[in-house]
């Protein structure tokens, strides 16, 4: 059974810091890995999607990497801002379809 | 383009009752997935519908069911509610539900079972 783990569970940083969020998965036979953001009491917003054949994806201040063989992904956030405060979730797709297995998330707080 | 909408946004029910939640996908999207989010278990996959057919199902009891209509709108039903069914229920839509597609999530329906 695929398990997705995110470390740390919570992170508090001052504004302007660069930070790294980690995601690991037990079964390397994934089709893709996605990073989402969730604001309190809200739905999820897709940030980056990395196909299994790719090593990284970038969007603005966000960069996500994928190492399938070691079962790891990292989300790098450059020059963090208070508006980045949210819970960040990673999820993997194990089939050709869209079904996702999620980690429990990293709660990020960026202080002004 | 309108996003994924879910109704109602909040619900309070008592044990033993049943509940129906609705999800309208983004226009043109034919795949709808449902997830349950709780503090203890996190996000767990319930089921996915494509072209009015359930294509995938998660590990939930038969009290949880769903359906999809010809306009791709989907409903999920929970019968004989239990306290542990209190959760945020999220639906997500994509074009045809293939792994390379971005999933677009709705705001969720928060269900409280008393």
Task: Identify all chain A residues contacting B100, using CB atoms and an 8 Å cutoff.
Answer: 31-32, 49, 51
Phi and psi for A25 in degrees, rounded to 5? Answer: -135, 150
Main-chain dihedrals φ then ψ at residue B85, nearest 5 degrees: -85, -5
Q: Which of A32-46, A68-82, B23-37, B63-77 has the lowest mean pLDDT?
A: A32-46
Residue B91 backbone phi and psi in degrees, to 5? -115, 155
**Per-residue pLDDT at B1 exceeds 80:** no
Spacing of C-alpha A28 from chain mean position: 16
Q: Supply the pLDDT for residue B83.
A: 97
Q: What is the DSSP string of B3-24?
A: --EEE-SEEEE-TT--EEEEEE
DSSP B70: T
Each residue of A16-57: pLDDT tens digit? 999 999 999 998 888 899 999 999 888 899 999 999 899 999
Between CA A48 and CA A25 the distance in angstroms is 17
Q: Which residue, A78, A105, A77, is CA-closest to A91?
A: A105
Residues B55, A100: C-beta atoms closer than 8 Å: no
Q: What digits encode the pLDDT tens for the residues B55-112?
A: 989 999 999 999 999 999 999 999 999 999 999 999 999 988 777 788 899 999 999 9
Residue B22 has pLDDT above 80, yes or no: yes
Tell me which chain A residues have a C-beta less than 8 angstroms from the C-beta of B107. Answer: 42-43
Note the pLDDT tens digit of each residue in B7-17.
999 999 999 99
Q: Quick check: A104 and B45 CB within 8 A?
A: no
Mean pLDDT confidence for B17-46? 95
* Phi, psi of B83, deg, nearest 5: -55, -35
Q: Which long-range contacts (CB under 8 A, 24 or more apart) does B43-51 make?
A: B43/A89, B43/A91, B43/A100, B43/A102, B43/B90, B44/A102, B45/A99, B45/A100, B45/A101, B46/B76, B46/B89, B47/B76, B48/A97, B48/A98, B48/A99, B48/B97, B49/B74, B50/B96, B50/B97
DSSP class of A82: G
First to last CA, chain B: 37
What pLDDT is attached to residue B66?
Answer: 97
**A99 neighbourhood in chain B, CB within 8 Å:** 33, 45, 48, 56, 58
DSSP state at residue A97? B
From the centroid of its chain, how far is CA B111? 12
Q: pLDDT digits over A88-107, tens only?
A: 999 998 876 778 999 999 99
């Amino acid at each position: 059974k695929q398990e997705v783990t995110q470390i740390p569970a919570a992170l508090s940083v001052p504004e302007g810091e660069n930070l790294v969020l980690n995601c690991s998965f037990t079964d390397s036979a994934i089709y893709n890995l996605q990073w989402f953001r969730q604001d309190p009491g809200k739905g999820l917003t897709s940030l980056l999607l990395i196909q299994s054949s790719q090593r990284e994806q970038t969007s603005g201040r966000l960069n996500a990497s994928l190492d399938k063989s070691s079962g790891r992904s990292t989300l790098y956030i450059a020059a963090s801002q208070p508006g980045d405060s949210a819970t960040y979730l990673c999820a993997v797709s194990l089939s050709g379809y869209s079904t996702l297995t999620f980690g429990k998330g990293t709660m990020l707080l960026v202080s002004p | 383009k309108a996003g994924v909408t879910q109704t109602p946004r909040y619900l309070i029910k008592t044990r033993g009752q049943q509940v129906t939640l609705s999800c309208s996908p983004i226009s043109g999207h034919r795949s709808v997935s449902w997830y349950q989010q709780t503090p203890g278990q996190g996000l767990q996959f319930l089921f996915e519908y494509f072209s009015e057919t359930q294509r995938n199902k998660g590990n939930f009891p038969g009290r949880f069911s769903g359906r999809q209509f010809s306009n791709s709108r989907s409903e999920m039903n929970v019968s004989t509610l239990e306290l542990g069914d209190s959760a945020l229920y999220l639906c997500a839509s994509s074009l045809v539900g293939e792994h390379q597609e971005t999933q677009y999530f709705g705001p969720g329906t928060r269900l409280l079972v008393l």
